[in-house]
Amino acid sequence: MKSLYLGLICLLVVSTCKSDKSEIPVIEEVKELSIAEKIANAHGFENWKNVEEVKFTFKVDRDTIIGKGRSWVWKPKEDSVTMIAGETTVAYVRSKMDSTHIGADRGFINDKYWFLVPFQLVWDTSVTISETKITEAPISKEELNMITVTYPDEGGYTPGDAYDIYFDDTYLIREWMYRKGNAEQPSLTTTFENYKDYNGIKIATDHKMEGGNWNLNFADVSIALED
């Protein structure tokens, strides 16, 4: 009888221990987002996985002269690209392109970079991104956050370039400074403005130089999601 009593006590202790273990909450480690991810997400990067087709026209207006631009149709899941510039149409798949497509592809990479700068910060894994600092933006003269993005000296169409990117406390890009070959002096400085939302993806449709008589802008924009 005594042995049975001791056995019941031991069983109760074991059962209590198991019960206590099961009630211990599991704490999942939350990974801190990088500054590139925070900027990309502020512009809708989490919706990119659902994008089926992107259309836009890249053009530059100077004073009263409206640029004709070049139009693009891009299907990112297939990585197929179609360029329409005047009477010229070029269609290709980037993984299968040959030398006849190089000129169009250089244009596509340039125009897509302007169009989707925030996402390129995540896609371009070879870049070096500096720590964030607060400084005066070159055009607005506002105090903004700034990072410097530097590309490696080899690879790509424009190796070694650097970009100083100015963003607000919501991580939206407001201005940037392009420095060709990582030169000390900027080659081009523009705003990021007139943001529009296309199925959850925010695009700055105007990029103006100081004075406002030069505007790199996007027209005929559409971003279609999968059904």
Mean pLDDT for 119-145 is 97
Q: Which residue has the higher pLDDT, 208 or 227?
A: 208
| Structural element, H or E, at residue 118 | helix 117-123
Q: Which segments of 25-101 does DSSP mark as H helices, in order?
A: 35-42
Evaluate whether 59 touches 39 at the Cβ level (below 8 Å). Answer: no
- When the pLDDT of each residue in the chain is averaged and rounded to a whole number, the result is 90
Percent of the chain with pLDDT over 90: 79
3-state SS, residue 103:
helix
Q: What is the DSSP letter of 160?
A: T
pLDDT at 158: 80
Lowest mean pLDDT among 10-14, 117-121, 190-194: 10-14
Region of 69 (left: φ > 0; alpha: ψ -120 to 50; beta: rest) is left
Mean pLDDT for 19-25 is 56
| pLDDT over threshold 60, residue 176 | yes
What's the whole-model pTM score?
0.85
Contact partners, residue 195, CB within 8 Å, separation at least 6: 172, 202, 203, 204, 205
